[in-house]
Amino acid sequence: MKRLTITCALLMLTGVVVFAQSPLKVSFWYSVGGNVRDAVEMCIKKYNASQSKYQIEGVFAGNYEESLQKIISAIATGSAPVLIQQAHVYTPQLVDANALEPLDSYIAKDKSFERDKFIEPLFQSNVFNGKTWGLPFNCSTPIMYYNKDLFRKAGLDPEKFPTTWAELYSSAKKISALGKDTYGYILSYGSGWILEGLIWQFGAEWMAKDNSKVLWNQKEHIEAIKFFKKMVDEKVALYKGGEPDFFSGKAGIFVESTASLTRLKSMATFDLGTAEFPAGTRKAVPLGGGSLYIFRRNSQALKDGAWDFIKFMTSKDVQMDWAAATGYLVVRKDAKEALEQEGFLIKKDKRYNTAYLQMPYIHPENESFYPYFLNLRTIYNNAWDKIMMQGADVQATMDEATQKANEVIKDNM
């Protein structure tokens, strides 16, 4: 009896030890705000409730550019998190800093990982230098949002959005003729990714494939900028306008990420339409959004936890819920097929299908994976501001910006 009592006591003690084990805490910085932040937090909550081995601790680190600076500082001080969600456009800078863990070995070893289920162009957004640096999570493209009521008022067919930039100019001009404070088009650029999409339409390129120089002062590039300057000068377009201008009914067309669709739908007091980018000499749109990355300088146990969470976030069911809650593209083929079968992309609300129609024309923002892309983008955006807001000469301004950017490239070789 005494032996049995001791044995039971030991079993109870062992049980206490097992149940007292705390989940391994995995720090996770993410960079999406608003209703999208709420969706991320919901994903974290679901994951933590689904298992007891790991606990994801999410922290909003600011927008992509703000969080990039925080991450760079954290790398320098040795205080980087285990896992981040960051814009794939800035990934090369983190790779150049030797901060990220390649994921190829995880993909190869994990038999439960469904590599073939990913939409290939989205997966490839993180593949360069022969390695896979992250997995796509919140991918997007900019799309055209438009006020169908203003289209009707201007005598335009609201179901036939312009398919070329020449047609868009003509439609925007008719809308702007409705009143002194009415604009046909809002020319805003976000971080700068929209400007890339605009110049691509005119056959221009942003940077040489070998990262040796930028191509901002070449003929096609100059012609593209002049086209949009004409719209601004004629007051057909409002430069750096925003959501308040669009939702007050002052503008007919507004360019924004597909990730904003769910939120913008809830804000609209008019008949809100969406459309693909018009075509110029070619059809091309930037692939934006972000991916999930693991920092190299962490214990293997923490990195394994990060990988487990990445698999959860890129799973079929989570991606379907995520797309419905936000408007982001799903990153998996089976998730897209399921949404199509449910009628979500066509029957329930075809506006969610607009970004998928542009999928054949997507180009990564940072096509050549240049490490110091943000430095160049800042110079570029400032040049557009100088031209559009101060009336600076297009060619002279872009010549000057090109020279500055190429000096940055030279200094970082």
Q: 230-239 pLDDT, tens per residue?
A: 999 999 999 9
| Residue matched to tokens 């960079």 | 31
pLDDT in tens, 42-52: 999 999 999 99
Domain residue extents for the chain: 22-140+288-360, 143-286+372-411
pLDDT of residue 20: 53
pLDDT digits (tens, 9 = 90+) for 274-324: 999 999 999 999 999 999 999 999 999 999 999 999 999 999 999 999 998
Residue 275's H or E segment, with its range, is strand 272-275
What integer pLDDT is reported at residue 98 of this predicted model?
Answer: 95
Strands (E) in 158-226, as ranges, are: 183-187
pLDDT at 15: 47
At 185-235, the pLDDT tens digits run: 999 988 899 999 999 999 999 999 999 999 999 999 999 999 999 999 999
- CATH fold for the domain made of 143-286+372-411: D-Maltodextrin-Binding Protein; domain 2 (3.40.190)
Of the listed ranges 267-281, 293-307, 344-358, 386-400, the least confidently predicted one is: 344-358
Q: H helices of 256-393, where?
A: 261-267, 300-313, 316-326, 333-342, 354-357, 373-390
Contact 172, 307 (CB under 8 A): no
Say which CATH superfamily domain 22-140+288-360 falls into.
Answer: Periplasmic binding protein-like II (3.40.190.10)
Amino acid in position 4: L
User: Alpha-carbon distance 135 to 133, whole Å?
Assistant: 7
